[in-house]
């Protein structure tokens, strides 16, 4: 059986990347082919290397103010890796519509809120400020609009009394680690039915 090839883009610690890579064993229809970061210091790079996944870095900083120039570099290692599926996993750069359209229908993102609520940053603080009883995370297909696109899965998480943004973020993250692998497994097998966890 030939596996679907998955490239994972990250900017930070890479705990979601780890959960994805570690899930792709045995009968799973996909395997990781590349972990790509915009930051050479991202902790996820070492974790990928430890797992035998090829890594690459394209620093966004020399391209300040010129997203297309950054993306022209970012796409090189990505195309070389010949991915079937691209997973954004804590990748903190906004991608242009031009870039996204090249991978439309095969690029996924995880976002730490119950979309369409709280697109963008500071999602946990915003959920607490709003007094929400429930919060969570969403995996969706990436389209040109930020944190938009068809929803492929959601995990709902209770907000507890005394929660701070950090405690809520940590609770949501444990669910991200269940949701993203479950969605990827289903998506890689050609099934876009949403995965709903709670
Ligand atoms: C995760 O909580 C992810 O949902 C969030 O960044 C964190 C990355 O953690 N992504 C975004 O906010 C995207 N806008 P990780 O590096 O440990 O996977």
- Sorted by where each begins, the domain ranges of the chain are 1-103, 109-198
Determine which residue's CA is closest to atom 6 belonging to ligand 1: 90
Mean pLDDT calculated for residue range 40-59 = 98
Given this chain, do its domains 1-103 and 109-198 carry the same CATH topology?
yes
If you count them, how many residues does the chain have? 198
Determine which residue's CA is closest to atom 8 belonging to ligand 1: 90
User: Active-site positions?
Assistant: 111
Separation of alpha carbons 103 and 107, rounded Å: 6
The CATH label, of 3.30.70.3270, 3.30.70.100, 3.40.50.170, 3.30.420.40, for the domain at 109-198 is 3.40.50.170
> Residues with Cβ within 6 A of ligand 1?
10, 12-16, 44, 89-90, 110-112, 173, 176
160: buried, middle or exposed (CB in 10 Å: 19+, 13-18, 0-12)? exposed
Question: For residue 26, what are its two tokens?
Answer: 């045995």
User: Looking at the whole model, is its pTM more than 0.95?
Assistant: yes
Q: Which CATH superfamily is domain 1-103 in?
A: Formyl transferase, N-terminal domain (3.40.50.170)
Q: Which atom of ligand 1 sits closest to the CA of residue 111? A: 4
Q: What is the pLDDT of residues 82-135, one digit of tens each?
A: 999 999 999 999 999 999 999 999 999 999 999 999 999 999 999 999 999 999
């Amino acid at each position: 059986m030939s596996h679907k090839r998955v490239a994972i883009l990250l900017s930070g610690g890479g705990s979601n990347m780890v959960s994805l890579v570690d899930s792709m064993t045995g009968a799973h229809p996909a395997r990781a082919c590349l972990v790509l970061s915009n930051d050479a210091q991202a902790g996820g790079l070492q974790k990928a290397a430890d797992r035998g996944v090829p890594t690459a870095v394209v620093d966004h900083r020399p391209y300040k103010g010129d997203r297309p120039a950054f993306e022209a570099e970012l796409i090189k290692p990505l195309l070389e890796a010949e991915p079937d599926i691209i997973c954004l996993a804590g990748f903190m750069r906004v991608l242009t519509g031009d870039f996204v359209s090249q991978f439309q229908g095969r690029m996924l993102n995880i976002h730490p809120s119950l979309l369409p609520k709280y697109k963008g940053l500071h999602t946990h603080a915003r959920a607490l400020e709003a007094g929400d009883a429930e919060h969570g995370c969403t995996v969706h297909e990436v389209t040109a609009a930020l944190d938009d696109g068809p929803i492929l899965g959601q995990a709902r998480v209770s907000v507890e009394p005394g929660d701070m943004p950090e405690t809520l973020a940590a609770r949501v993250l444990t669910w991200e680690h269940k949701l993203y692998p479950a969605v990827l497994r289903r998506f890689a097998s050609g099934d876009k039915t949403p995965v709903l966890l709670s």
